Amino acid sequence: MSLRLGDIAPDFEADTTQGHIHFHEWLGNSWGMLFSHPADFTPVCTTELGRTALLKDEFGKRNVKVIAVSVDDLESHNRWTPDIKDVTGSEVNFPIIADPDRVVATLYDMIHPNASEKATVRSVFVIGPDKKIKLTLTYPASTGRNFNELIRVIDSLQLTADYQVATPADWQEGDDVIVTPAVTNDQLEAKFPKGVTFVKPYLRTTPQPNK
């Protein structure tokens, strides 16, 4: 059965390019982003892992630990990482899980037989400090991920976890947000001292509360 939002992210132990990890223990109280790539020494994946490394500080500001996985072994990963640095200029500064037995790929339903019986699809899982899955995305092997979008989603997830708001279409950090229906009109002044705009009776907006 595929994983759904709100499910506990499966725990596992694995060897990585930065040593052996117990996943939940490695996450600790941080947010996590687990993402898969179909194979080492492939062009799209090379650009993706380099981009992820380049964004290390942005993930760090958000208390997000990043970890990649593919069904290749540790030796293959270690031979590939110099290519990533050569192509993108970024040293790979996060762990890549070796998953030759497809243990992690199976736990996270990353093998889609209609796409490939051997390689993982290009999946992303954002996991909260409570170890629950907050976001899932799946891309075809031909399409590289937009990591600015992943950071935008993480910003939204963290904001909406702390305040009773939602983010509208195309929201960016600093834009107005939507007050959730759970907040009554009588509670607005206390909860949102910056003010609330009534666009419709069911659509109320307010400046981003943590700015």
Looking at per-residue confidence, does 139 or 65 come out higher? 65
**82 — phi, psi (to 5°)?**
-65, -35
Listed by start position, the domains of the chain span: 13-145, 163-206
The pLDDT tens digits for 43-60 are 999 999 999 999 999 999
Report which residue type is found at 187.
Q
pLDDT for position 141: 78
Q: What is the mean pLDDT of residues 185-192?
A: 95
User: Which positions are annotated as active-site residues?
Assistant: 45
* CATH hierarchy code of domain 13-145: 3.40.30.10
pLDDT at 121 over 70: no
* CATH hierarchy code of domain 163-206: 3.30.1020.10
Pairing outcome for strands 96-98 and 64-70: parallel
Closest CA to 2 of 150, 110, 113, 145: 110
- Band (pLDDT 50/70/90 cuts) for residue 115 is very low
The pLDDT tens digits for 86-113 are 999 999 999 999 999 889 988 998 865 4
pTM, two decimal places: 0.91
The pLDDT tens digits for 130-172 are 999 999 998 887 889 999 999 999 999 999 999 999 999 999 9
